[in-house]
Structure 1
C-alpha cells in the first residue's frame, strides 16, 4: 500500500527523545518548487506513491514547505573536528530533519532536507544549495548504493526557483535525503561537551535502539556501542577503498553511528592508483587523501570513544583502558575486510591468513601504482585476462616483464572470472562524466544526469553502447579538483 504526500505520516522520535540536540525550525519558502529528479524506486520502498511526488504537492513536501502529519522539523545540533580542529557548535547550517518514516520493511528511516535555508547553526552562510552539488549527491549516493556500499540515499532533488549566489548566480535546489539516521560522532561530542551525563546516556540509548540493539544487553552498553560502530566503520572504509572512493571531508561530524556513508561534498573516485591522491580543494595538507582514510577513521573513532568515557566506567582510568582495547581492534578488523575484498577483486577465495595470496595482491597494487594504472579499468582488464584476453591488462603497464611475471603467478592460484565480474565494477561515477552531467544540468539539460544514473544502477553488467562510461578520463581533462558546494 502506498501513501500520498497528504496522507504520509512521520514520527519525531529524535526531536522528542533529544530536545537538547534539536532546534525546531521551518524550511525557507521555495517560490517555484519543481522536482528535478526523483528516485522512484526509493519512494516505493518508503511506501510513497512516486507519481504523487512528481507534482507540485510532492515538490512542496520535498522542500519542507508542506509538512506531513506528525512532523516536527528540527535543525540538529552537533560538534565536530574539522580537519583536526575542534568546533564545539556546528549543527545543521542548511538542513532540517523532517522526521522518521517507516518503510515497507518496518525499518525507521530519516527524511532530511539539505539546502532548505538558514538555521541557527548557519554561521553567516545563506543555508541554501545549488542544483549542481545536490545532483552530485544524488548521482554518487545512488552509485554507492548500487555498488553495495552502505550509504544515505537521495529521494529527490527539487529546484527552488531561487538563485544561489556563489562565484556567480546558480539555480538553487533542495536535496531530500533518506538515512538510517543522522546520528554522528559529532552528536556525541556535542552531548559530552555539555557535561550533562543524562543527555549523553539518552543519546547513547537512542543510538543503540536505532542501530545496534544487541549492545543494550551488554555489561557495558556504551562500550558495546563503541565496538559496534568501530566494526561498522572498519568495514565501510574498506569498501570505499576497494572501489576507489575518496570521501574528501572525513570530519567527525561526517562519520555516522549507523555505518552509512554521508555527505557527498568534495568526493571523487580514484583514477590512476596513487594512495596520496587528494581531490578536495580545501584539503591542502592531504589529511583526507585516499590512502589516509583508514587512519582518519580510527582517529575519529578515538574522538567517539572520548565522548563515551563517562558512560563506560565511573573510574576514568578504567574507562580509558576499556575504550583503548576496543579501538585496538579497528586496524585488524579493517585490514581483514580490506584483504578479503582485495583477494576477491583478483578472483581468489583464499582466507586472509594465506600469506602467499595476500602478498600476490599487494604486489599487484605496487605494479598498479608504478604504472599509474586506472583503478577501475585495471581490475576489469584483469578479469578479461582470466578468459584468455590478456592484452588489455598487459597494455596498462610500463614494466611489461614484471606484469607478465605477476600474471603467471596469479594464474597458478586459479582465479574465478565470474567472482571478479561481480566484484569489480565496470561503471563508477567517473569524475569527468559527473562534471559533464552537472554542467549540463545547471544549464537546464537533465539528460546526461539521468543517463549517468541509469548506467550506474547496474555497475557490474557490461552493456553495448556504453563504452565511454567505462573509459578513464581523457588526457585533456587535467587534474581534477572538487569543492564542498557551500
Structure 2
C-alpha cells in the first residue's frame, strides 16, 4: 500500500455503468523525477503529502495503484472540428482516484501521459515534457486570473523518450478537476443508448451522476434534468466571457474538450493574444479558423446544442416538447454571455455599471483595437495606469505606429473615457480596474522560452514565470535584464505565430 492511500479514495465514476470506462494499466516510468510539484495547490486540497512523501513520486509518475484500487480510462465521443467521432476516450490518461478538499468539494485525480489505454487508437499513450509543462503553466495562469480551470498538481519526468517526429523527454502530468465529464461523454451515452435501443438508460445514469456531484439542488426535481442543462449553459457562457476578457484562445473547442463543470480543460495549442485580432488563431491544426478568438462563443453554443441533443429524452416524453424546452434553454446562452462580457468590460474600463452610454463606447473600443492591432493586455494595463494618474502618452504610445486616423481615434477614445468615468465613486471603480486587468499573462514567447529551457534541464525561467502568474494583478519583481521583462510584449523575432497540440 502506498503512502498516499489514506487521502486518495476510489473514484465515484466507477458507480456508473461499465460502458463509461475501461481498466487502465499504467506503464511505470523507468526513472521518475519531479520536474515541478504544486505545493500551493496541494495545500488548497488539504493534502498532507508533498514532494518528499515516500511513494508519491511513483504514484504520480504512473506507478501501480494503491492496494484495492484500479485505475480507469474514461470513454467519450466527440465532434472534432465539427466532425463526429463516435469513440474517443482517454487514450493516454488514467483516473487514479478522488480527493475531498477541506471545503467539501470532490476533485478527480487524473494522470496524463501515463501509457496507452483501450482508447489509445494506435497512439503510444505518452506525453512530452513540453506539452505537460505547457498545461501546467496555462492552467496555473488561468487559476491566477480567477478563471474556472482544471489544475496541475505535478509534472514528473519519466526518464523515457517520446517520439514526435524526433525524440523528446517524456513526462506525466497530474490533473486535478471537479469533473472529467465532457459534452462528448453525454454524446457517447446517447449514441450507446441509440445503438443498443435501450432508451436513455446510460444518459440518465450519467446525468444523475453529474447532478449528484455538481448540482445536488436539482436531484429529484420534476424538471431537474432541464435545470441541470440550464446551469451548464450558464456556466459555459460565463467561462467563455472570462476567456475573452483576457484574450485567451483555447484552440481546440471540440465537444470532448468542454467540461460540464464549467472549467477550462485540455490545454493543447491554446494561447494568449498579443496584438489584437478578432480572427486570431494560433493552433497549427485550425487552418479554417473554426476556433478563432471571435468564434469561441458561437462554438460554445454549438457544443451546447449537441449536449441538448443527447439530453432530449430526459427533458420530456414528448419529443416536440423536449425539443422546445431545449431550444428555449439554449437561447439563454447568448444573453448570459453578453451580460458577463459587458459587465467584465465595465470593470476593466472603470465604467459606471449599466450606464446607457457604455454600449456604444465599448463598441468603439473594439473598433479601435481592431484598427490599431494594439497589444490586448497592454491596452487595458496602460489605461489602468492612466486612470491611476500616469500621463496620457504611455497609453497613446500603443498607437504610435498606426495611421494618423487611428491615432486620432485613440485620442478621442481617451477623451470619451474621461467623460464617462468621472464621478466621486471613481476610486472604487479604479480598484476594480486594477483587479480586472492583469499585468502578467502567460505570453506565448515566455511560455516557449520556459519550455525550451526546461527541455535543456534549466527550470529557472519556468519557475520565475509560474511565480509571477500566481499574482498576475501585481507588479512582478524587477527583471535583472530588460529582455527578461515578463510584462513586455514579444519583440518581432520573439513572436509565436503557431502552437501545437502535443499528441
Common fold: TM-score over 0.5: yes
Partner of 1:287: 290
Normalising by structure 2, report the TM-score.
0.93
Question: Per the alignment, in what secondary structure is the counterpart of residue 219 of structure 2?
Answer: helix
Partner of 1:209: 212
Task: Out of 81-90 and 394-403, give the one that drifted further.
Answer: 394-403
1:66-85 matches, cutoff 5 A: 66-68=64-66, 71-85=69-83
Partner of 2:36: 37
Partner of 1:393: 395
How far has the Cα of 1:11 moved from its partner?
2.2
How far has the Cα of 1:388 moved from its partner?
3.8
How far has the Cα of 1:69 moved from its partner?
5.1
Partner of 1:407: 414
Partner of 1:298: 301
Question: Per the alignment, in what secondary structure is the counterpart of residue 445 of structure 2?
Answer: helix
Q: For the residues of structure 2 that align with 1:236 and 1:442, how far apart are their CA atoms?
A: 32
User: What stretches of structure 1 move > 6 A for 4+ residues in a row?
Assistant: none
Equivalent of 1:191 in 189, 192, 199 = 189
Kindly indicate whether residue 491 of structure 2 is the aligned counterpart of residue 474 of structure 1.
yes
Kindly indicate whether residue 110 of structure 2 is the aligned counterpart of residue 103 of structure 1.
no
Whether the aligned pair in 1 keeps the contact of 2:72 and 2:95 (CA below 8 Å) is yes
1:242-281 matches, cutoff 5 A: 242-281=245-284
Whether the aligned pair in 2 keeps the contact of 1:10 and 1:69 (CA below 8 Å) is no
Task: Out of 55-64 and 282-291, give the one that drifted further.
Answer: 55-64
Partner of 1:122: 120
Question: Per the alignment, in what secondary structure is the counterpart of residue 109 of structure 1?
Answer: strand
Please give the root-mean-square deviation of Cα atoms over the aligned residues, in Å: 1.5
Q: For the residues of structure 2 that align with 1:50 and 1:470, how far apart are their CA atoms?
A: 34
Partner of 1:112: 110
Kindly indicate whether residue 338 of structure 2 is the aligned counterpart of residue 335 of structure 1.
yes
Q: For the residues of structure 1 that align with 2:430 and 2:169, how far apart are their CA atoms?
A: 46
1:150-161 matches, cutoff 5 A: 150-161=148-159
Whether the aligned pair in 1 keeps the contact of 2:11 and 2:95 (CA below 8 Å) is no
Q: For the residues of structure 1 that align with 2:447 and 2:116, how far apart are their CA atoms?
A: 28
How many residues align? The count is 481
Equivalent of 1:451 in 441, 448, 464 = 464
Partner of 2:86: 88
Q: For the residues of structure 1 that align with 2:156 and 2:53, how far apart are their CA atoms?
A: 11
Task: Out of 279-288 and 63-72, give the one that drifted further.
Answer: 63-72
Structure 1 unaligned residues grouped into runs of 5+: none
How far has the Cα of 1:12 moved from its partner?
2.3
The verdict on how the C-alpha distance between 1:464 and 1:94 changes in structure 2, with shifts beyond 3 A counting, is closer
Q: For the residues of structure 1 that align with 2:54 and 2:278, how far apart are their CA atoms?
A: 46
Q: For the residues of structure 2 that align with 1:349 and 1:122, how far apart are their CA atoms?
A: 52
Whether the aligned pair in 2 keeps the contact of 1:26 and 1:64 (CA below 8 Å) is no
Question: Per the alignment, in what secondary structure is the counterpart of residue 382 of structure 1?
Answer: helix
Normalising by structure 1, report the TM-score.
0.96
Q: For the residues of structure 2 that align with 1:385 and 1:305, how far apart are their CA atoms?
A: 46
Deviations 1:84-107 (A, max 9, x none): 000000000000011211112221
Whether the aligned pair in 2 keeps the contact of 1:272 and 1:369 (CA below 8 Å) is no
Question: Per the alignment, in what secondary structure is the counterpart of residue 484 of structure 1?
Answer: coil
Whether the aligned pair in 2 keeps the contact of 1:33 and 1:56 (CA below 8 Å) is no
How far has the Cα of 1:64 moved from its partner?
3.0
The verdict on how the C-alpha distance between 1:163 and 1:452 changes in structure 2, with shifts beyond 3 A counting, is same
How far has the Cα of 1:44 moved from its partner?
1.9
Q: For the residues of structure 2 that align with 1:215 and 1:374, how far apart are their CA atoms?
A: 44
Q: For the residues of structure 1 that align with 2:27 and 2:3, how far apart are their CA atoms?
A: 23
Whether the aligned pair in 2 keeps the contact of 1:211 and 1:257 (CA below 8 Å) is no
Question: Per the alignment, in what secondary structure is the counterpart of residue 417 of structure 1?
Answer: helix
